[in-house]
Structure 1
Amino acid sequence: MSIAPIAPVSAVAPTIAPVAAQSPTGGSSFAAQLGRGLETLQAAQDKADNLAVSAATGSLTDVHDYMIASTEASLATKLTVAVRNKALDAFNEIMRMQA
C-alpha cells in the first residue's frame, strides 16, 4: 500500500481586486463629519431650550413638541458623548502601542 505525500500549501491569491479607499460620504473628511454632527447637536439643544422657555412662559400650545425636542436633544448628546468616548479609547490604545 503506497501512501501519497502531503502536497505543500500554495499561497492564496486574492479573488477580489482591491478597491481604492474612498470616503463613504463622497469626499468629505472625518473632521467635516464631526463638525456637522456638533452643529446638529447644537441645533437640537437650541430648539429644546426655546421650547422649554415657551412652555415655562405658557405660550407653548402643544407640550408634545417640547417633549420630542427634549428627547432628541438628550439622544444627540448621548450619541456625541459615546463617539467622544470611543475616540478617546482609540487614541489611548494607539498611545499604548507606541509605548
Structure 2
Amino acid sequence: MSISPIGGVGFTPYVPPVVAPTVADPTTSGAGGVSAPSGSGFGQMLVDGIDHLQQVQGTSDKLAVQAATGDLTAIHQYTIAATEASVTTQLTVAMRNKALEAFNEIMRMPVG
C-alpha cells in the first residue's frame, strides 16, 4: 500500500465488505432456505481485518525507517501512515473488547 501525496491526504480507511446472505432452495437447505455465502463470513471478515492491520502497521514501520534515515522526502506520508495505524489498532482493540463483553454476557446467562 502506498500513500500518495497528490491531492492532499492519501488516507483511505478500511471498510470491511458487507456480504448479504444468499437465499437457497428451501428444499435443499436446512436453515429455512437461508445459507451463508461460501468462503465469506464473520471469521473471514476478522481475518481480513487483522491482515489489513498488519499491512497498515508494516507501511507505517517502513515509512518510519525511511524518515529516520532521511530517505523520506515528504514527512507527511509517515504522519498519515502512523495515524492510520494508530486508529486501526484502536478500532481492533475496541472490537475485541466488545466481543469479550458479549461473550462474558452470554456466559452469565442462566441455563435451563
Q: In structure 2, how many angstroms separate the alpha carbons of the residues matched to 1:98 and 1:45?
A: 42
TM-score by length of 2: 0.65
Give the aligned partner of residue 18 of structure 1: none
- Given the alignment of the two structures, is residue 56 of structure 1 paired with residue 85 of structure 2, yes or no? no
Identity of aligned residues (%): 57
Give the deviation of 1:98 after TM superposition. Answer: 3.9
Deviation above 6 Å: which 4+ runs of structure 1?
none
TM-score by length of 1: 0.73
Give the deviation of 1:49 after TM superposition. Answer: 0.1
Give the aligned partner of residue 88 of structure 1: 100
The RMSD of aligned alpha carbons is 1.2
Give the aligned partner of residue 19 of structure 2: 25
CA shift digits 1:42-95 (9 cap, x unpaired): 000000000000000000000000000000000000000000000000000000
How many residues matched? 76
- Give the gaps of 5 or more residues in structure 2: 1-17, 21-36
Q: In structure 1, what residue type is equivalent to 2:71? A: S
- Give the gaps of 5 or more residues in structure 1: 1-23
Q: Which has the larger radius of gyration?
A: 1
